[in-house]
Chains A and B, each alone.
Chain A
């Protein structure tokens, strides 16, 4: 199943209803590739913008906005996120794992 999903994605075969999930997962990995650790606010911003642009659903940008002050009050929002110290090695790992497998 996992191999079929990877093969379908390599051919850009994504059912419309799964588009937000795939966008989220791609943004998640890109975030890790750059930072080594997840930057939650950066991920949310880029994911929401991506869905809004790809689907034309601009209201999606503001969905859940009412949670922001509640998260902030609970000290759960971090405007500056943690990054791994050795991000270069993370980027090299991503590069090696993006190469097609040898037959």
Chain B
């Protein structure tokens, strides 16, 4: 299976452990990721907050580049990047806006490519195929699946799963032999890109998310977003210091757990580069 790949800035920056994980995983599943040539930043929350035109134009350029390269499917592992691409696809249903954006980004724009997040890519691979490929069932894993804000919202843009009670990540983990818990914070916000600019809010939200997962019996948290991972893994020590409680909650990317079940090592997946690691 050949898929267009839009890594986004985080996966080529400090979240390169996520890229290592999903590439190892996709190699094992014979999914070939082809990076979109000369992709640019999607503008993220900054463009969304400060400049509406730019928040459409930057992802529009990427969508146009993907279409130029002939990709029918584009995998964007960061939910913010994938939501931005989906937002443009929806916007260019308006013919006048499509023409304006094409002119702005200096490239043809049709909106034909299908945009996939990490969970949808595993859906494409097929849960039966995943199940058949398992070499090391995840019997000791009791996971709290954390979707955060953007995998399922805004629902009229992303059209993914139930936006209040999503279940697809749980279905993937069940295929790997893992258990999952019902808990309260699976679609709450972690503060996302506010890690530097508003740390108080991020630590408060991260503490609630990590604590609630532990209270419901989870022994790990599973995410499909680089920003969620930063706030819940890298900032976990700061949460523990501020709130005076020991959490020690391992935070995995979904691809980490798929990879482990396929028999890949923590080193191959980049799990050894996380901040919180299980002994």
Whether B49 sits at the interface, judged by CB under 8 Å, is yes
Q: For residue B39, which residues in chain A have a CB less than 8 angstroms away from its CB?
A: 37, 84
**Do B50 and A97 touch across chains, with their CB atoms under 8 A apart?**
no
Instruction: Give a binary string over B42-74; 1 marks a CB under 8 Å from any A CB, 0 the rest.
Output: 011111111111100110010000000000000
Query: With the chains together, A46 CA to B213 CA distance in Å?
Result: 36
**Minimum CB–CB distance for A52 against chain B, Å:** 13
**Minimum CB–CB distance for A30 against chain B, Å:** 9
Q: For residue B196, which residues in chain A have a CB less than 8 angstroms away from its CB?
A: 24, 44, 47, 64
**Do A28 and B104 touch across chains, with their CB atoms under 8 A apart?**
no
Instruction: Give a binary string over A63-102; 1 marks a CB under 8 Å from any B CB, 0 the rest.
Output: 0100100110011111001101110011011101110010
Number of interface residues of B (CB under 8 A): 38
A78 (CB) vs chain B CBs: closest residue: B13
**Do B40 and A32 touch across chains, with their CB atoms under 8 A apart?**
yes
Whether B275 sits at the interface, judged by CB under 8 Å, is yes
Q: For residue B194, which residues in chain A have a CB less than 8 angstroms away from its CB?
A: 21
**Do A74 and B17 touch across chains, with their CB atoms under 8 A apart?**
yes
Instruction: Give a binary string over A19-50; 1 marks a CB under 8 Å from any B CB, 0 the rest.
Output: 01111111011001000111010001001000
B12 (CB) vs chain A CBs: closest residue: A82
Q: For residue B15, which residues in chain A have a CB less than 8 angstroms away from its CB?
A: 76
**Do B40 and A90 touch across chains, with their CB atoms under 8 A apart?**
yes
Q: For residue A28, which residues in chain B have a CB less than 8 angstroms away from its CB?
A: 44, 46
Whether A9 sits at the interface, judged by CB under 8 Å, is yes
**Do A2 and B198 touch across chains, with their CB atoms under 8 A apart?**
no
Query: With the chains together, A69 CA to B57 CA distance in Å?
Result: 37
Q: For residue B49, which residues in chain A have a CB less than 8 angstroms away from its CB?
A: 2, 5, 25
Whether A62 sits at the interface, judged by CB under 8 Å, is no
**Do B12 and A93 touch across chains, with their CB atoms under 8 A apart?**
no
Tell whether A75 pairs with B16 under 8 Å between CB atoms, given A20-B198, A93-B61, A96-B57: yes
**Do A97 and B17 touch across chains, with their CB atoms under 8 A apart?**
no
Query: With the chains together, A60 CA to B149 CA distance in Å?
Result: 29
**Do A32 and B41 touch across chains, with their CB atoms under 8 A apart?**
yes
Chain A interface (Cβ < 8 Å from any Cβ of B):
2-3, 5-6, 9, 20-26, 28-29, 32, 36-38, 40, 44, 47, 64, 67, 70-71, 74-78, 81-82, 84-86, 89-90, 92-94, 96-98, 101
Chain B interface (Cβ < 8 Å from any Cβ of A):
9-10, 12-17, 38-41, 43-54, 57-58, 61, 104-106, 194, 196-198, 234, 273-275
A-B contact list, 13 entries, CB within 8 Å: A5-B50, A6-B50, A25-B45, A29-B47, A38-B10, A40-B14, A76-B13, A78-B13, A81-B13, A92-B106, A93-B104, A96-B104, A98-B51
Ranked nearest first, the 8 interchain pairs of A and B with the lowest CB-CB distance are: A38-B9, A28-B46, A25-B46, A24-B197, A97-B53, A97-B54, A74-B273, A76-B14
Q: A84-B38, A85-B38, A97-B54 are in contact. List 12 more A-B contacts (CB 8 A).
A: A6-B50, A20-B198, A21-B198, A25-B50, A29-B43, A38-B10, A67-B234, A74-B275, A76-B13, A82-B12, A98-B54, A101-B53
